[in-house]
Structure 1
């Protein structure tokens, strides 16, 4: 792809002028995820009246954050634009609203309504190539005819795969803050922690004003580097106006408060030492001028791995001040050897849930289905085998009667494990649907470990253990979950005091009641609480077949 062919747009309002009607897709190529998430809906509002915009973003946290941010930004811009998250489509009047969805919640809303009432749709983070994100794109191509904007990285491969799917979709490149200097090491680092500390201290001592953000792979590295920076600054007596704060998953409350205090502080310099989670995080100080990138991250399996070129470019784009600089703690040759971007999830993950979703929607031949990434034959075969063993498809690959009876679950809640859908489907003929729904809801809410509350006080732990034992039954953990649910929710959800006395997680079980109600309403089961007269035999057989893996 010739990058010179891009339409470089400095004034974002011109983007809307490119948006026509019909099923044409427009690709916005940019590194920053937060700017199009907030600015594109506002620009559409400014150029169109009575708009109802849907924005699909890859995580619930990001969706809520963008929803809040657009409210604040619209007030400053003087453009009325109310925002909401994850609402039913039929409750959204066309009055200049912007609703943020995750791919899962978007598919859920589509499954419930079977129509898309939005005047404009924006899909963010398409370069993530998540399974349900790509499913959203495939659904939109089949059923949506309005203006569609896809936001992705400007890497040629990220754009190319979207252009191939949308048959030469128009590209618009959204200019971001320009990085002035990109620095690499001359030789690979022998000690990453020492190199990171040296780099941060040198920037702080020799460069001008501006905050610093550093990307490392693990929490342990973050803490080691922070300790090293503080020791060096203290020894040099230069730490007075410098705050060094961590940013990683599962931070303690006091650590988060320290981070926010540092970000809110006027004057001085903040050094944010972070893991990869800060790549897409928007609530960072507006004057980040220096990025330090180790080039490493942690895989889902907990292993330290190299980031992709896309990851490194996104990190570099965290610069939010003109004249920013990026220091990569590896050589330029090492950067060139990195892969462009991660493979699509559908290329490596199980496909039984997504295959069941398409079959439930009426797709006859999954092999001819148009999707952004073509499903691998070996994963398709594995998915069909899994569904056949669960009695959800027949020998000819069509839905069985059991699958048809719960096809609404597959359409409205496609992200539920197929074994749970199969369990609910078989329970309809075994007079134990109420019990299976309770078990599934408790599992989806977190399972047995989340249901139990273990107090911090050592003296109370033995008491909690004894009370938890009262719920346990010899039939196994899943029937124990059923016992907990029925004890806590029959005839209705107990008072919070009861949960405290029984050392159970009120929030988790309350979530389970909401999930159970949703499951029951989707398949049209009126009863919400378990009926004591229902037979346990069928329930135990279903649990043994679908839960005890």
Structure 2
């Protein structure tokens, strides 16, 4: 690629792995593809690097209770180890935990194809939040949250003989909770095996964590490393920093496309806005290429967590003939999910992380440099079918200064859900719980204060009966759980069920990319908008959807996501079943918006703000400056004096999301223990 020589330095940190069944590297994607499709599934499985370690893994699982597996990207750890255990006639159920729902579903389908079975058979199944497809399978893929819910009904996981925690290097909130819980469970169940797996992992730290406190200082955990990438990966750095990495990503992708090098491209950006912006720019270039009749055509797919699942699946499709696929993704594509055909990686070098502010009880999305572990993980997406290339949009000196690992989520997040779960699991003293990394005391204190204000715990820190125990059983934010449980008393459970269900999907509105469609979408949205705010607007959208007999045509006309609305229906049905189990009547407010809003205030009262004389909103506690999200229905109308919000996101400013207009006296009426009126 001669165009890159003035800008990129020489290849550096080249990673090379020889295909174990080949004497030379293969350098033609078409050849590799034709070769692979001619093989049987079994032959393909044998070619995976982890196959050479099959007997070693089974031996270590017999000898040790915990196996720390450092398996490089592409080695086959997520799909093959459960199959090896089944083939070795391992007793009981084998559970595999993934941090993301898309990974759990795609891996279950992949294994189902390999073993020639259907998902939801006795062999393979999956379970994710508000969606399950299994029938007591031997191999069960699930998200971490699902396993924690199972622990609430079966604290020792007696139905499982082995659990695999995958992609542990991400150190999500639930990952750390599960590792702390498993340290307790393994002492009670000597027959349970735990596999802690990741591509980039501080294995010694985790080995010491699981060994510490063992009887007679006997080692119960061990480490195994498995090579992964079968082909070399060349890494290029910038010679000078770029002013805008989004534009640089687009330019780099187009230069790769103009070269003779085959293979699809994966671009890593930080958030939905950047992904949409880069996708729009690339689609414009794709249209120009089509019109000019050039041969090097491209097809562009976005990939992020807020996309409907069927849109996320598009990235796994092969590009049409004479097209190169370009996937623009957030860090959702960094782990677990393997997109076929990817040869070129473009890494912007940044990531957006949630960071909790204990003063305001709000989350902020902070733009931070990625860690070296994440950079290597991103690079690992290349080199799967042939030699790959990684283009890092930062200098080599910048890489050397990056932190080794990303801060665990447990030290930078709201802990209200964590404490509620641990209390429900019988962990009375949270301070003594064995977290791999201890969360800040101020975060624990803040969470306890909120739970006490919500009446989920009493003054001694114990769960209240029945409210606290009932709130813990919901797979929801404690504030939303409190609202649902209060809805019967306020006489609006029908409407609250709908609102809370809609808040569980990223958005119910589609976001057109062209200017004319953006204007049309805005006009159509106004048909549903009400001055009370976003949450009651959502209620109007849902009512219209039901009145249209759940019509796809209605959604298309009004720029509403049909898939999201169908998902809302599924979630609502499940939540309604839970409410009925608690004996809460399902009744309607019959058009009384005041009842609905007061019910919302009963749970969201900590998230209240008032209009300051300077023209901005400020939190009552902490006096933090807030702004109305441009997507809110309140953005273009006269600003109300008092509002509550569901969350705060920090992009360029602190923006309130999902806002509802309230009266200040409702705060004093419904939360007198939290607010008082000064003279």
Fold match by TM threshold 0.5: yes
Deviations 1:46-91 (A, max 9, x none): 2125552111101111111111111112239xxx973212289x99
- Provide structure 1 residue ranges, at least 5 long, that are not aligned to the other structure: 1-7
Q: 2:40 aligns to what?
A: none
1:253–1:409: structure 2 CA closer, same or farther, 3 Å change rule?
closer
1:262–1:63: structure 2 CA closer, same or farther, 3 Å change rule?
closer
Aligned counterparts, 1:506-521, within 5 A? 507=566, 510-511=569-570, 513-520=572-579
1:190–1:355: structure 2 CA closer, same or farther, 3 Å change rule?
closer
Between stretches 54-63 and 433-442, larger displacement belongs to: 433-442
TM superposition shift of 1:284: 2.4
Q: 2:210 aligns to what?
A: 166
Aligned counterparts, 1:330-369, within 5 A? 330-369=394-433
What is the SS of the residue equivalent to 1:496? coil
Deviations 1:117-169 (A, max 9, x none): 1122111111111112222222333235311111123343xx24422331263
Q: 1:291 aligns to what?
A: 345
Separation in 1, partners of 2:597, 2:310 = 46
What is the SS of the residue equivalent to 1:166? helix
Q: 1:180 aligns to what?
A: 232
What is the SS of the residue equivalent to 2:81? helix
Aligned counterparts, 1:39-438, within 5 A? 39-49=80-90, 51-75=92-116, 82-86=123-127, 97-116=138-157, 117-144=159-186, 145=189, 146-156=192-202, 159-167=203-211, 169-178=221-230, 180-185=232-237, 187-190=239-242, 193=247, 197=251, 201=255, 205=259, 207=261, 209-217=262-270, 218-219=274-275, 220-221=277-278, 223-224=280-281, 240=295, 243=298, 245-249=300-304, 262-263=318-319, 265=321, 270=324, 272-276=326-330, 277-280=332-335, 282=337, 284-286=339-341, 288-299=342-353, 305-318=368-381, 319-401=383-465, 404-410=466-472, 412-413=473-474, 415-423=475-483, 432=489, 435-436=492-493
Which of the pair is proportionally richer in helix? 1
Which of the pair is proportionally richer in strand? 2
Query: Are the counterparts in 2 of residues 138 and 372 from structure 1 also a CA contact under 8 Å?
Result: yes
What is the SS of the residue equivalent to 2:427? coil
What is the SS of the residue equivalent to 1:29? strand
Query: Are the counterparts in 1 of residues 126 and 134 from structure 2 also a CA contact under 8 Å?
Result: no
Q: 1:5 aligns to what?
A: none
Q: 1:3 aligns to what?
A: none
Separation in 2, partners of 1:348, 1:314 = 22
Query: Are the counterparts in 2 of residues 486 and 530 from structure 1 also a CA contact under 8 Å?
Result: no
How many residues end up aligned between the 2 structures?
512
Between stretches 28-37 and 374-383, larger displacement belongs to: 28-37
Q: CA RMSD in A?
A: 4.9
Separation in 2, partners of 1:170, 1:391 = 44
Between stretches 210-219 and 375-384, larger displacement belongs to: 210-219
Separation in 2, partners of 1:46, 1:257 = 30
Between stretches 301-310 and 173-182, larger displacement belongs to: 301-310
Query: Are the counterparts in 2 of residues 177 and 322 from structure 1 also a CA contact under 8 Å?
Result: no
Separation in 1, partners of 2:535, 2:486 = 17
Query: Are the counterparts in 2 of residues 179 and 325 from structure 1 also a CA contact under 8 Å?
Result: no
TM superposition shift of 1:369: 0.7
TM superposition shift of 1:303: 6.4
Query: Are the counterparts in 1 of residues 250 and 278 from structure 2 also a CA contact under 8 Å?
Result: no
Query: Are the counterparts in 2 of residues 200 and 229 from structure 1 also a CA contact under 8 Å?
Result: no
TM superposition shift of 1:104: 1.5
Separation in 1, partners of 2:464, 2:84 = 48
- 2:547 is the alignment partner of 1:547: no
Deviations 1:5-51 (A, max 9, x none): xxx96614135323435982111112327832211211211212555
Separation in 2, partners of 1:51, 1:271 = 42
TM superposition shift of 1:443: 1.8
Separation in 2, partners of 1:199, 1:385 = 49
1:229–1:93: structure 2 CA closer, same or farther, 3 Å change rule?
closer
Query: Are the counterparts in 1 of residues 483 and 496 from structure 2 also a CA contact under 8 Å?
Result: no
Between stretches 172-181 and 367-376, larger displacement belongs to: 172-181
Match of 2:587 among 518, 530, 543: 530
TM superposition shift of 1:388: 1.9
Separation in 2, partners of 1:50, 1:487 = 51
